[in-house]
Amino acid sequence: MESMLKIEKFKGLVAATFTPFDQKGNLNVSIINEYCSFLGKNGVSGIFINGTTGEGVSLSNKEKQINAAAWARAVKDTGKMRVINLVGGTSYQECIDNALFSKECGFSAIAILAPFFFRPDEGRLAEFIAKVGESVPVMPVYFYHIPELTGVNMPVIGLLRRISGMLPNFAGIKYTAEDLMDFLSCTSFDGGKYDILWGRDECLLAALATGAKGAVGSTYNYAAPLYHALIKAFNEGDLDEARRLQMKSAGIVELLGKYGGIATGKAFMRYAGIDCGKFRVPVYNMSDDMYPEFVKDIKALGIEDYFSKM
Tell me if residue 41 is catalytic: no
Query: Helix, strand or coil for residue 6?
Result: coil
| CA angle (63, 138, 10) in 5-degree steps | 75
Distance CA 224, CA 229 (A): 9
Distance CA 35, CA 75 (A): 10
Phi, psi of 54 (to 5 degrees): -85, 5
Catalytic residue among 35, 92, 142, 144: 144
Distance CA 218, CA 15 (A): 6
Q: Residue 257 carries which side chain, given as an amino acid letter?
A: G
Phi, psi of 204 (to 5 degrees): -60, -40
- Residues 6 or more apart from 52 whose CB is under 8 A from it? 16, 146, 149, 176, 218, 262
Measured in whole angstroms, the distance separating CA 202 from the mean position of its chain's CA atoms is 14
Tell me if residue 299 is catalytic: no
Instruction: For residue 106, give the DSSP letter.
Output: T
- What separation in angstroms does the CA of 195 have from each of 4, 123, 250, 295? 16, 21, 25, 37
Catalytic residue among 174, 248, 266, 278: 174
Distance CA 198, CA 205 (A): 10
Question: Closest Cα partner for 113 from 160, 145, 139?
Answer: 145
Q: How many CB atoms lie within 10 A of CB 186?
A: 26
H or E element at residue 67: helix 61-78
Which positions are annotated as active-site residues? 144, 174
